[in-house]
């Protein structure tokens, strides 16, 4: 059993009469890239703020590296690097000066060379002396990542790290997270609205909604359920639709362009359907069975 890095038990937090988080529990293990999913207002940011000791929970416990964040705050925070919501820096200071300031109180102050190397690593080489105020959103995110990694933390907490980035920026951050996991065996907790991103990067995840943790487990296990969406590209399409109705009169499909439809199906039904369509002289160009995290997420959240 891998070492448990984060253990959150029955975490609850109320702001006035609003219950932001209610009874949230989850565990993150060493080497996990752990997805933290939930719609807006689900309580993700509140939970992450509790992990970083920014807000104090009303009840429940947060243990990181086997110790309580309440009693061992400083020693735990020294081993965490985080971006919460968005990286905010001093607008009137340069990229270098900003990193220097945060590094000085990180517990492991970095040398000038280390800061320059980190800026280079996140693609901000040559922009060291530029003021933060003049940075694009992508550059701000990169500087945030640099700040997170500079003191070589064991646990990295990234809250929506790809928000507002261009496609190349998203790929870069994604690759960076995978490198951190694969090359340095870092543990990453990733909160994101980009469900495809979670699907691509994370090995484990928790879904929370309305302040409650709904489901937790391996991404692959949660994705491999029996209920699938099948996308069929066939010709002629009117004949294919008639055949589908003949095969199952209750079938309801969505049109995807002129030559495709998609509909829910059980995994065990796919061979019989394929055989039936061929017997009806339908030309099948493609059959794509999928169960996306998005489908799963929407289904879970709407329950």
Partner 1 sequence: MILINSIYNEIIKIALKPRSYLGLAAITVLVGVIQFALKADGMSIISFVTSSFEQTLTFEGNVLNGNLVAFIILQMLLVQIPLLVALVTGDLVSGEAAMGTIRMLATKPISRVQLLLSKFIAGGIYTLIVILWMGVMSVVVGKLLFGTGDMMVLNSDGLVILQEADVNWRYLGGFAVAFLALFTVSSLSICLSCFTDNSIGPIVATMSVILLFTIIGTLDVRVFDPIKPYLFTTHMAAWRSFFEDPLPLSAIWRSVGVLVAHNVVLISVSLYTFHRKDIQS
Residues within the interface to partner 1 (CB under 8 A)? 15, 49, 52-56, 73-78, 80, 82, 84-93, 97, 101-102, 104-107, 109, 147
Beta strands of 236-275 (E only): which ranges? 254-256, 260-266
Residue 76 C-beta: closest distance to partner 1, Å: 8
Q: Are 66 and 4 in contact (CB under 8 A)?
A: yes
Angstrom distance (rounded) from CA 262 to CA 35:
28
Residue 31 C-beta: closest distance to partner 1, Å: 22
**3-state secondary structure at position 240:** helix
Angstrom distance (rounded) from CA 236 to CA 244:
12
Give the nearer residue to partner 1 in terms of CB position, either 143 or 176.
143
- Element of type H or E holding 114: helix 112-121
Give the nearer residue to partner 1 in terms of CB position, either 51 or 293.
51
Give the nearer residue to partner 1 in terms of CB position, either 79 or 231.
79
- Please give the C-alpha separations between residue 248 and each of 42, 62, 258, 264, 294, in angstroms, as whole numbers: 38, 51, 21, 12, 26
Residue 46 C-beta: closest distance to partner 1, Å: 9
The DSSP bridge partners found for residue 27 are 7
Give the nearer residue to partner 1 in terms of CB position, either 147 or 213.
147
Give the nearer residue to partner 1 in terms of CB position, either 85 or 294.
85
Bridge pairing between strands 260-266 and 212-218: unpaired
Residue 103 C-beta: closest distance to partner 1, Å: 9
Residue 187 C-beta: closest distance to partner 1, Å: 16
Main-chain phi, psi angles of 197, to 5 degrees: -65, -45
Residue 107 C-beta: closest distance to partner 1, Å: 5
Give the nearer residue to partner 1 in terms of CB position, either 53 or 203.
53
Angle, helix 95-104 to helix 137-149, in steps of 10 degrees: 30
Angstrom distance (rounded) from CA 252 to CA 182:
43
Give the nearer residue to partner 1 in terms of CB position, either 34 or 89.
89
Work out whether the CA dihedral 191, 118, 29, 70 comes out positive or negative. negative
Q: Are 22 and 49 in contact (CB under 8 A)?
A: no
Residue 26 C-beta: closest distance to partner 1, Å: 20
Give the nearer residue to partner 1 in terms of CB position, either 2 or 134.
134
Bridge pairing between strands 187-191 and 18-29: unpaired
Residue 29 C-beta: closest distance to partner 1, Å: 22
């Amino acid at each position: 059993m891998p070492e448990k890095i984060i253990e959150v038990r029955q975490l609850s937090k109320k702001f006035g009469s609003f219950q932001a988080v209610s009874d949230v529990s989850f565990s993150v293990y060493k080497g996990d890239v752990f997805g933290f999913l939930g719609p807006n207002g689900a309580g993700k940011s509140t939970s992450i703020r509790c992990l970083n000791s920014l807000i104090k929970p009303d009840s429940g416990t947060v243990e990181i590296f086997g110790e309580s964040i309440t009693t061992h705050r400083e020693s735990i925070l020294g081993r965490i690097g985080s971006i919460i919501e968005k990286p905010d820096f001093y607008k009137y200071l340069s990229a270098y000066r900003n990193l220097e300031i945060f590094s000085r109180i990180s517990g492991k102050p970095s040398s000038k060379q280390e800061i320059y190397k980190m800026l280079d690593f996140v693609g901000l080489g040559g922009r060291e002396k530029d003021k933060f105020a003049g940075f694009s959103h992508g550059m701000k995110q990169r500087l945030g990542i640099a700040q997170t990694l500079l003191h070589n933390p064991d646990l990295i907490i990234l809250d929506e790290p790809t928000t507002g980035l261009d496609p190349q920026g998203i790929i870069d951050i994604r690759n960076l997270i995978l490198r951190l996991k694969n090359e340095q065996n870092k543990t990453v907790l990733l909160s994101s609205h980009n469900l495809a991103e979670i699907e691509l990067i994370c090995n484990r995840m928790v879904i929370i909604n309305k302040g409650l943790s709904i489901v937790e487990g391996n991404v692959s296990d949660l994705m491999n359920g029996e209920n699938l969406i099948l996308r069929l590209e066939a010709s002629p399409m009117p004949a294919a639709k008639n055949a589908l109705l003949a095969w199952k009169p209750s079938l309801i499909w969505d049109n995807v362009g002129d030559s495709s439809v998609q509909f829910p199906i059980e995994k065990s039904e796919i061979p019989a359907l394929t055989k039936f369509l061929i017997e009806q002289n339908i030309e099948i160009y493609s059959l794509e069975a999928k169960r996306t995290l998005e489908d799963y997420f929407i289904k879970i959240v709407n329950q």
